[in-house]
C-alpha cells in the first residue's frame, strides 16, 4: 500500500512531510577562521556580519600586555641585582699630587674643633676629606668616617674635612647629626678643591707626617678600608 493510499484510509494520521531543504549560508571570503580571535562568535559571523574591526586589534593588545609585563619583570630583576651588588668603596686612584707636598688647607672650622693649617699637623698622618651635605655618597660615608676617627682618637691620625660647594649652616647641622668630632673647613671660592683636583665627591687624600700626599681614595670609604690604607702607608714609610 502506498503512502497516499494510507493517508486516504486514515485521514487523521499525522503528516510526515520532509523538512524543506535549509538554504546554504555564504561565509564572506575575508572571514579567515585561522585568524579569528577566541572572542569572536562564529555563529554571529556566519549569520552574515563581518568580523568587527576591534577583533583585529585584540591580539595586538595581548602582545602589548605581555611585552609590558616582560619589561617590568626585567626592571625588577635589574633593581634586585643592583641592590645585591656592593657599592664601590675604598677605590684608590692615581693623582698628580702623589709624592708631592699637600696643597695648603686653611680657614675657619664650622665645628667646635679648631683648625689652623695642615702645617700645624706636621708629624701626624692626616686624612683630608672633601664632602657636601647634598652628596648621597657622603651621607653614606659619614658613619664610617666617624668610626675611623673614634678608633684613632688620641693616636697619630688627624681627620680634616673640607666643605665642597655647600653652606656653613648645612655642614654644621650635618656633622652634628651624623657625627663629626673633627675640624671641617669652608672653601668659599673652591680654591682648595681646585688645588687638590677634586672633580667629584667624596674625595679623600692621605698625607704622611712629612706633609706628602701618599694616597687618594675616590668615592666613599669605609673604616676598615681606611685602616688598611693607613697600615700599608705606614709599612712603606718604615
Average pLDDT per block of 10 residues along the chain, 238 residues long: 49 45 45 35 42 52 67 57 51 95 92 92 96 96 96 93 96 93 93 95 97 96 96 85
Both 111 and 213 in one domain: the answer is yes
Q: Which residues of 113-138 are buried (b: 16+ CB within 10 A; e: fewer)?
A: eebeebeebeeebbbbbbbbbebebb
pLDDT at 81: 40
Q: Please tell me the distance from the alpha carbon of residue 202 to that of residue 226, in angstroms, as a whole number.
A: 14
Helix (H/G/I), strand (E/B), else coil: 92 = strand
Q: Domain of 127: which CATH number? A: 3.40.30.10
- From 70, 85, 100, the end of a domain falls on 85
Say if residue 119 is in the same domain as residue 227: yes
Residues 120 and 226 in one domain: yes
| Pairing mode, strands 157-163 and 213-218 | unpaired
* Residues 121 and 198 both lie in one domain: yes
- The predicted pLDDT at position 20 comes to 45
The CA–CA distances, whole Å, from 142 to 130, 133, 191 equal: 11, 10, 23
Q: What is the DSSP letter of 121?
A: G
pLDDT at 92: 92
Q: Are 203 and 115 in contact (CB under 8 A)?
A: no
- 133 and 202 in one domain? yes
In contact, 208 and 125? CB cutoff 8 Å: yes
Q: For residue 161, which of 111, 208, 199, 119 has the smallest C-alpha distance? A: 111
Q: Which of 59, 65, 217 is nearest to 144 (CA)?
A: 217
Tell me, yes or no, whether 109 and 185 share the same domain.
yes
Is residue 125 domain-shared with residue 217, that is, in the same domain? yes
User: Does 197 lie in the same domain as 132?
Assistant: yes
* Residue 25 within a domain: no
pLDDT of residue 24: 47
Contact 223, 151 (CB under 8 A): yes
- Asked whether residue 159 falls in the same domain as residue 187, the answer is yes
pLDDT at res. 74: 64
Whether 108 is covered by a domain: the verdict is yes
Rg value, the chain, Cα: 41
Q: Domain containing 134: what range?
A: 91-237
Both 150 and 233 in one domain: the answer is: yes
Q: What's the confidence (pLDDT) of residue 71?
A: 75
Please state, in angstroms and rounded to a whole number, the distance separating the CA atoms of residues 138 and 131.
6
Q: Which three cell numbers stand for residue 147?
A: 668610626
Q: Among the three residues 42, 58, 85, which one is the final residue of a domain in this structure?
A: 85
Q: How many domains does the chain have?
A: 2
Amino acid at each position: 500500500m502506498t503512502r497516499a493510499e494510507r493517508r486516504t484510509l486514515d485521514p487523521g494520521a499525522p503528516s510526515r512531510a520532509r523538512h524543506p531543504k535549509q538554504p546554504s549560508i555564504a561565509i564572506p571570503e575575508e572571514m579567515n577562521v585561522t585568524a579569528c580571535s577566541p572572542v569572536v562568535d562564529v555563529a554571529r559571523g556566519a549569520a552574515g556580519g563581518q568580523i568587527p574591526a576591534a577583533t583585529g586589534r585584540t591580539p595586538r593588545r595581548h602582545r602589548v600586555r605581555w611585552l609590558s609585563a616582560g619589561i617590568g619583570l626585567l626592571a625588577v630583576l635589574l633593581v634586585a641585582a643592583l641592590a645585591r651588588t656592593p657599592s664601590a668603596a675604598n677605590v684608590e686612584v692615581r693623582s698628580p699630587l702623589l709624592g708631592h707636598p699637600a696643597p695648603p688647607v686653611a680657614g675657619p672650622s664650622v665645628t667646635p674643633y679648631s683648625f689652623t693649617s695642615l702645617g700645624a699637623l706636621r708629624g701626624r698622618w692626616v686624612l683630608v676629606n672633601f664632602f657636601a651635605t647634598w652628596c648621597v655618597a657622603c651621607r653614606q660615608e659619614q658613619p664610617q668616617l666617624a668610626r675611623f676617627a673614634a678608633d684613632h682618637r688620641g693616636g697619630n691620625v688627624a681627620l680634616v674635612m673640607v666643605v665642597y660647594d655647600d653652606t656653613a649652616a648645612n655642614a654644621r647641622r650635618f656633622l652634628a647629626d651624623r657625627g663629626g668630632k673633627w675640624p671641617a673647613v669652608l672653601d668659599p671660592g673652591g680654591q682648595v678643591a681646585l688645588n687638590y683636583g677634586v672633580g667629584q665627591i667624596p674625595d679623600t687624600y692621605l698625607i704622611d707626617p712629612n706633609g706628602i700626599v701618599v694616597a687618594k681614595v675616590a668615592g666613599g670609604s669605609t673604616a676598615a678600608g681606611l685602616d688598611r690604607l693607613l697600615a700599608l702607608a705606614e709599612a712603606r714609610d718604615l
